Amino acid sequence: MTDTARAMEMRAFGEPLEMVEYPLPQLRRGEVLARVVAAGVCGSDVHIWRGHDPRTPTPIILGHEAIGRVERIGGDKADINGELLAPGDLIGWDRGVVCGECFFCIVKKQPYLCPNRKVYGISISSQDPPHLKGGYATHMVLDTRTKVLKLPEGTDPEVLVSASCSGATAAHAVEQCDICQGDTVVIVGAGSLGLFALAFVLNRGATRVVAVDVEDSRLELAAEFGATATLHATQTSPEHRLKVVNELTHGRGADFVIDCSGYAPAIADGIRMCRRGGTYTMPGIAVPVGETPVRFYEDVSIRNLIVKGVWVSDTGHFRQAVEVVLSNRYPFDRLVSRTFHLEDANDALGATERREVLKAVIKPSEQ
Amino acid sequence: MTDTARAMEMRAFGEPLEMVEYPLPQLRRGEVLARVVAAGVCGSDVHIWRGHDPRTPTPIILGHEAIGRVERIGGDKADINGELLAPGDLIGWDRGVVCGECFFCIVKKQPYLCPNRKVYGISISSQDPPHLKGGYATHMVLDTRTKVLKLPEGTDPEVLVSASCSGATAAHAVEQCDICQGDTVVIVGAGSLGLFALAFVLNRGATRVVAVDVEDSRLELAAEFGATATLHATQTSPEHRLKVVNELTHGRGADFVIDCSGYAPAIADGIRMCRRGGTYTMPGIAVPVGETPVRFYEDVSIRNLIVKGVWVSDTGHFRQAVEVVLSNRYPFDRLVSRTFHLEDANDALGATERREVLKAVIKPSEQ
Amino acid sequence: MTDTARAMEMRAFGEPLEMVEYPLPQLRRGEVLARVVAAGVCGSDVHIWRGHDPRTPTPIILGHEAIGRVERIGGDKADINGELLAPGDLIGWDRGVVCGECFFCIVKKQPYLCPNRKVYGISISSQDPPHLKGGYATHMVLDTRTKVLKLPEGTDPEVLVSASCSGATAAHAVEQCDICQGDTVVIVGAGSLGLFALAFVLNRGATRVVAVDVEDSRLELAAEFGATATLHATQTSPEHRLKVVNELTHGRGADFVIDCSGYAPAIADGIRMCRRGGTYTMPGIAVPVGETPVRFYEDVSIRNLIVKGVWVSDTGHFRQAVEVVLSNRYPFDRLVSRTFHLEDANDALGATERREVLKAVIKPSEQ
Amino acid sequence: MTDTARAMEMRAFGEPLEMVEYPLPQLRRGEVLARVVAAGVCGSDVHIWRGHDPRTPTPIILGHEAIGRVERIGGDKADINGELLAPGDLIGWDRGVVCGECFFCIVKKQPYLCPNRKVYGISISSQDPPHLKGGYATHMVLDTRTKVLKLPEGTDPEVLVSASCSGATAAHAVEQCDICQGDTVVIVGAGSLGLFALAFVLNRGATRVVAVDVEDSRLELAAEFGATATLHATQTSPEHRLKVVNELTHGRGADFVIDCSGYAPAIADGIRMCRRGGTYTMPGIAVPVGETPVRFYEDVSIRNLIVKGVWVSDTGHFRQAVEVVLSNRYPFDRLVSRTFHLEDANDALGATERREVLKAVIKPSEQ
């Protein structure tokens, strides 16, 4: 047992992360010190590193997707199932920490909109003690208000890291879709977010799911997850894609289109693939994409269309994501394409930026 | 009792309606011959007459908002409450006739999206017998599948005509808004549609309702209906309106914005008046309005916004509109600003086009 | 091609069904003559035959679960997807025929509650022409208002018969349960109804499903469908079952308990297996079960419990049932334990009454 | 300004409350010291005093409905609208304090089911410092996790006390009823809970509301609130009441029946007044009522009935109750029938037990 933690810290946007050491702190009541056993490299980590996310201060330890083992606890603390935590427990947690007291947290029960929400690895600086607020580190200190979920022993932490972010966001998106057994869904973008969305819609009773992406490997994985049809986004035309969807739906169009790509030109096509009375939702839009022209009469009004923004997620969504992984109905282990040592975090970021990997995972410490 | 009906028929778009006579037909099983006692002139009648609605054939008898008295019935027919109709009964009916057999009618229970939907006075020509398919006439022949609602004796038919169209559409729009006691709603456009929406949102528990319009007389009426604040659309700036809404909502913005104006430039402002997690809906968009640029990240995604199109309405919505009028909680009698004889239907259309009236009503026959 | 149909008709309750012949009729507009290729023997057929169902007249041709092939059509008729029917098409249909005009059909969109609902094989006598209104026959004449669904060629009709009744009812029950990914569900009764419910709750994201039954063979089949745990209803105590459920749910109890057994003494136990805030629903109660004492304070009020009756189903539910079978995620082919010739319908009834079979299917004509 | 508080404390069940003094404490971060300006005497206070509520310890200061003015704050604290509290502010608060960390608070968003929920004046003893945890006192100390709502200056605190308990519970009950414009509702019991429920259902669009009670004065008040019909519970028969409801609903029965009486024999009648497909809910059952026999087939199953327990309420419900009072649509000021000095708290309890008052309010300090 050591008394210091090591972390790859970002001192300035776009500069290589640097290894730093911080002392392991005394814990306040309700805090948890976790040893990080796996930390996902999210596509948005690249955006953050490049300075595109206005929420991010410097210095910061990146990494908002992490799985850890309890090292120490400040007094007693229970997980969201009421199970008391003990040293050695394998745990995940909601990456966002909310105030639990505001209009959004309490009255509207939309904590993902809490104006006081802070996110590990995204919006909490490493400047002040206890410093360890990101997953690219051997240890993290979890705030008192962090919602923790104890995981069953034997679970592979690498596979679960995505549940914290893309899994939870996909859960949120699909929760907004009132899918009925037999519905048809189009998922645009078959990365981690899209594959989670695919699993969730199948688990809501969607019978026909069409996946669209620009990479064959992702489309193949989508098929393994259970997509009924896969369509290459650049090797097919919008007209062809619409035709495929219409053939599956007696000419009506998809009941739901879920955009997980965040690619602005896909919006108009996506909207047009919805049937009258359908829903278009866009969990993939996580950074500004400029203006998109919408023909409100033709595309929205006469089609009684519902368009829904999806912003981040809450603890319930995180739990749903963990549950869908643990259900063993889908090959989530196929998401992780490469693991990295902590000191190689810059390589992990680079591989993610160059899209060489579907999901890179950093393993700061032994499980 | 006569054996012919008179009607003001539109032979060509933009030409004056002409008085014609048609024989009163033999009825088939389930058909109803109604004597029209009041026919509303809807704002969209002007659009239809000008040829802007692609659904409309010629020749046609306009008038999709009508209240009548049963003259004859083809066999037995019950209203939607199971009450058998009898000659002399005062009745209203769903202006749209749907097939009752398709995916939208039966599986998704969204009959307003039925591809076989026909609308009296909008999409059924007067070419073929029984001809009498619009409200600008002394009589109408209601199809077997028409959903009829018997009205209590003593009800003023003039006041109820709007329930058929703007009332039902407003019911549909508000039904899509999950309003909670204490919510704040902005209603853009305080004509017939907007005033119905105002009544409905108050009847869903909205506590603060802001009405926006370009005419003082409509804003005054909105205040009488119960609007908390009224804002002139051209004499105030978007910034001022946003400030007013924010002051009412602790800086959050409106829980719901309902656009009843159909005025394209109002869309972006309307969306911005919504709070994070709010809903923007647009029952007012009934004719093409071109393209509107939307900043999906800023306006929709990070705000978890819901945008909903609202297309026409169904029988349940029509009933809701009748119920809200009959509840006597709102001064709906104030909507009708002028009545016309049947032969003056062209004047009624003209007064509506020149916005001289809030609601013109044609009275083809004595009540 | 023949011009008569043969049917096993029930002349009096409890008496053996007798083979009769009826002429194939001229069809009215919208009617369909179907050759029955498979007719399920529902558990309730035994109740009906014994005279326990007050809706049933005599004489009658039993059989409300049937799959057929189109023989002739009265004019043009489309299925609920808008596909025009043609002779030879393999079809299923909603066993209930509703009026499409009443408060329940039109205003509340709960057609299963239509007071004019008639059910093939249950409440339509064979007394009057066209006689052929039940599935224990070579042919059936489907009323104009019957909602038909064209089935993909190659589908096994035997497997689909249950979709008409227990499948549709299970769909209705599960639709009333707002299941979330990760929820725990107890299903009491693992016959056809319970197995469909099991498939549906898994397809809504339930992660832990406990099946309870009195027969090992059914529990084994439940496990094959995906039940997490199976409990024998007489070889375990209520306390043990509650303990098992609590162990799966951190001591909270099940999110949902769905009673598919119709066994009155199971109600109180079922309610107690629900967690606070859970839902108890009872699609299995299809005949009177007397009075059950409920402790409203302890069992319902302080637990914020929701108790839901489930009465029959509608066309949308039937479609969901077909879709879940066709999804090939569950071994529905295992439901059919024995097939019978039409003339052996009495044997099929007997085997069902003696619980020798999970599902008996009569095959009146070649596919 | 004083440095001690006075309170009427219950030392033993059924014994007269006694005046005690406690020092005003130092506040911890987030605590609020409130001067109580009005404290409601709830019907359940009598039950608590008689020892019927298993949650209640002794000694205790009763009073879970209170309105106060901020005297001191431990650091900065904002209300649920994000408004910073300041000394002198008029405030109300959620009477229940929940943990904000458990499955019910966080995952299911049903904080009213939080197993750690504590209620001022009901389940928090005055044994330990800071003692002042009930409303029958000049001051209260509000826990850090208490959700506070700042009230507009000029509001009458007497009128608002009921919002904390019966108002919030009624909000919860009505939130569980998906009322549609034009629906018919029966409210059994027209005390404070029933009158709030009446206001809420009218504000959800109910058009016909039938109130049932045993006291004429309450029925008169119900009529003033807007009840369409009032029925005396002992001077009319169940058959007569059913007839009245059926006459209002074309023979169908009420869409919703809300039992606010907690009177066990009313349950079966209430269920029978529901239409097929209706909902029966019972916020009035707050103490054990023994067993009630239910005919599940006839009363629940074939009627597709929904029965819902309603247990207490959460902060959002409390806010709804305040909003409905402040909307000035209903004569809530008529609820308060008598005010008492703090030292006369025993008289207030007695008058409530003898049903001499609709609502007694204790005024411990000047506003």
Interface test with A, best of B119, B307, B310 (most A CBs within 10 A): B307
Angle, nearest 10°, between helix axes C168-175 and C315-326? 100
Same-domain pairing of A127 and A11: yes
Nearest CA in chain B to C105: B80
The three-state secondary structure class of A184 is strand
How confident is the model over C141-186, as pLDDT tens digits?
Answer: 999 999 999 999 999 999 999 999 999 999 999 999 999 999 999 9
* Consecutive H or E run containing A300: none
CB-based contact C324 A182, cutoff 8 Å? yes
CA D64 to chain centre: 9
CB-based contact C315 B106, cutoff 8 Å? yes
Backbone angles phi, psi at B359, to 5 degrees: -150, 120
How confident is the model over B305-332, as pLDDT tens digits?
Answer: 999 999 999 999 999 999 999 999 999 9
CB-based contact C182 A82, cutoff 8 Å? no
Nearest CA in chain C to A83: C250
- Alpha-carbon distance C331 to C325, whole Å? 8
User: What's the distance, Cα to Cα, between the start and end of chain A in Å?
Assistant: 14
* Consecutive H or E run containing D20: strand D18-23
Q: Chain A interface residues facing chain B, Cβ-Cβ under 8 Å?
A: 103-104, 108, 110, 112-113, 250, 252, 264, 267, 276-277, 282, 285-298, 300-311
Q: Is the pLDDT of residue C77 over 70?
A: yes
CA angle D169, D175, D177 (to 5 degrees): 115
Of chain B, the percentage scoring pLDDT greater than 90 comes to 94
- Please give the structure tokens belonging to residue B98: 């749907």
* Cα dist from B265 to A348, B185, B190, B195, C31, whole Å: 46, 19, 16, 21, 52
CATH number of B235's domain = 3.40.50.720
CB-based contact D109 A106, cutoff 8 Å? no
Q: Are C132 and C145 in contact (CB under 8 A)?
A: no
pLDDT band at residue D365 under the 50/70/90 scheme: confident
CA distance A74 to chain B (A): 34
Sequence-ordered list of residues with C-beta below 8 angstroms from that of A295, at least 6 positions apart, any chain: B288, B290, B291, B292
CA distance B316 to chain A (A): 17
Residue ranges making up the domain that contains C107: 4-167+313-363
Of D101, D102, D315, which is closest to A106 when you measure between CB atoms? D315
Q: Is the pLDDT of residue D367 over 80?
A: no
* CB-count burial class (<10 Å; 0-12, 13-18, 19+) for C333: exposed
Q: Is the pLDDT of residue D322 over 60?
A: yes
CB-based contact D180 B320, cutoff 8 Å? yes
pLDDT band at residue B362 under the 50/70/90 scheme: very high
Interface test with C, best of B97, B103, B112, B149 (most C CBs within 10 A): B103
Domain stops at, among A309, A339, A354: A309
pLDDT band at residue C1 under the 50/70/90 scheme: low
CA distance B247 to chain C (A): 37
> What one-character DSSP code corresponds to residue A228?
S
Q: Is the pLDDT of residue D128 over 60?
A: yes
CB-based contact B319 C107, cutoff 8 Å? yes
- Please give the structure tokens belonging to residue C289: 């079960």
How confident is the model over D256-278, as pLDDT tens digits?
Answer: 999 999 999 999 999 999 999 99
Same-domain pairing of A17 and A148: yes
Sequence-ordered list of residues with C-beta below 8 angstroms from that of C328, at least 6 positions apart, any chain: none
Side-chain half-sphere CA neighbours of B315 within 13 A: 30
* Consecutive H or E run containing C323: helix C315-326
Same-domain pairing of B351 and B272: no
Domain-located, residue D279? yes
Same-domain pairing of D240 and D216: yes
Which chain D residues are Cβ-neighbours of C289 within 8 angstroms? 296-297
The 10 Å CB-count burial string (b at 16+, else e) for A334-355 is: ebbeeebebebbbebbbbbbee
Sequence-ordered list of residues with C-beta below 8 angstroms from that of A297, at least 6 positions apart, any chain: B285, B286, B287, B288, B289
- Alpha-carbon distance A8 to A15, whole Å? 12
Interface test with A, best of B107, B287, B302 (most A CBs within 10 A): B302
Amino acid at A353: E
Give all strands (DSSP E) within A165-323, no chain letters.
184-188, 208-213, 229-232, 254-259, 274-281, 291-295, 306-308
Nearest CA in chain C to A80: C250
Same-domain pairing of C101 and C132: yes
Percent of chain D that is helix, strand, coil (3-state, to 5) = 30, 25, 45
Nearest CA in chain B to D250: B81
The whole-number pLDDT of residue C163 equals 96
Name the neighbours of D, counting chains with at least 3 Cβ pairs within 8 A. Answer: A, B, C
Domain-located, residue B9? yes
- Alpha-carbon distance A273 to A303, whole Å? 11
Q: Is the pLDDT of residue B349 over 70?
A: yes
Which residues are bridge partners to D41 per DSSP? D360
CA distance B181 to chain D (A): 5
Same-domain pairing of A212 and A301: yes
B226-230: average pLDDT: 97
Q: Are C94 and C112 in contact (CB under 8 A)?
A: no
Domain-located, residue D43? yes
Which residues are bridge partners to C20 per DSSP? C7
Interface test with B, best of A275, A301, A303, A313 (most B CBs within 10 A): A301
Q: Are D283 and D256 in contact (CB under 8 A)?
A: no
* CB-count burial class (<10 Å; 0-12, 13-18, 19+) for D180: buried
Q: Is the pLDDT of residue D335 over 70?
A: yes
Domain-located, residue D172? no
The whole-number pLDDT of residue D319 equals 98
Which chain D residues are Cβ-neighbours of A314 within 8 angstroms? 106
* CB-count burial class (<10 Å; 0-12, 13-18, 19+) for D143: middle
Of A103, A292, A298, which is closest to B288 when you measure between CB atoms? A298
Q: Chain C interface residues facing chain A, Cβ-Cβ under 8 Å?
A: 81-83, 171, 175, 180-182, 200, 202-205, 207, 250-251, 316, 319-320, 322-324, 326-327
Number of domains in chain C: 2
- Alpha-carbon distance D233 to A248, whole Å? 58
Say how many C-beta atoms besides its own lie within 10 A of residue C143's C-beta: 17
Same-domain pairing of B160 and B19: yes
Same-domain pairing of B40 and B153: yes
* Cα dist from B171 to B177, B335, C50, D182, whole Å: 10, 17, 48, 11
- Please give the structure tokens belonging to residue B68: 């009548």
Same-domain pairing of D278 and D149: no
pLDDT band at residue D2 under the 50/70/90 scheme: confident
A&C contacts, CB < 8 Å: 60
- Alpha-carbon distance A322 to A327, whole Å? 9
CB-based contact B113 A277, cutoff 8 Å? yes
Domain-located, residue A338? yes
Which chain C residues are Cβ-neighbours of B316 within 8 angstroms? 106-109
Q: What does the radius of gyration of chain C's CA atoms come to, in whole angstroms?
A: 20
- Please give the structure tokens belonging to residue C273: 């297996």
Cis ω before C130 (30° cut-off from 0): yes
The whole-number pLDDT of residue B288 equals 87
B154-162: average pLDDT: 95
The three-state secondary structure class of B348 is helix
Domain-located, residue C172? no
Name the neighbours of C, counting chains with at least 3 Cβ pairs within 8 A. Answer: A, B, D
Q: Beta B274-281 vs B306-308: how paired, if at all?
A: parallel
CB-based contact C316 B108, cutoff 8 Å? yes
Domain-located, residue B43? yes
Interface test with D, best of B181, B207, B208, B326 (most D CBs within 10 A): B181
Domain stops at, among B291, B309, B327: B309
Which chain A residues are Cβ-neighbours of D109 within 8 angstroms? 109, 316
Q: Is the pLDDT of residue B355 over 70?
A: yes
Same-domain pairing of A302 and A320: no
User: What's the full length of chain B, in residues?
Assistant: 367
* Consecutive H or E run containing A73: strand A65-73
Q: Chain D interface residues facing chain C, Cβ-Cβ under 8 Å?
A: 103-104, 108, 110, 112-113, 250, 252, 264, 267, 276-277, 282, 285-298, 300-311
Same-domain pairing of A332 and A301: no
Q: What is the mean pLDDT of each run of 10 residues along chain A (367 residues)?
A: 90 97 96 98 94 92 98 97 98 98 97 97 96 98 98 95 96 97 97 97 97 97 97 97 98 98 93 97 91 94 96 98 95 94 97 93 87
CA-wise closest residue to A321 among A161, A209, A120, A121: A161
Q: What would you measure as the largest C-alpha separation in chain A, in angstroms?
A: 65
Domain stops at, among D286, D309, D332: D309
Q: Is the pLDDT of residue B367 over 70?
A: no
- Alpha-carbon distance D92 to D80, whole Å? 11
CATH number of D100's domain = 3.90.180.10
CB-based contact D106 A81, cutoff 8 Å? no
Same-domain pairing of B216 and B110: no
Q: Beta A254-259 vs A274-281: how paired, if at all?
A: parallel
pLDDT band at residue B1 under the 50/70/90 scheme: low
- Alpha-carbon distance B229 to C241, whole Å? 59
Q: Is the pLDDT of residue C367 over 70?
A: no
CA-wise closest residue to C204 among C171, C230, C231: C171
How confident is the model over B243-265, as pLDDT tens digits?
Answer: 999 999 999 999 999 999 999 99
Interface test with A, best of B122, B248, B276 (most A CBs within 10 A): B276
Domain-located, residue A112? yes
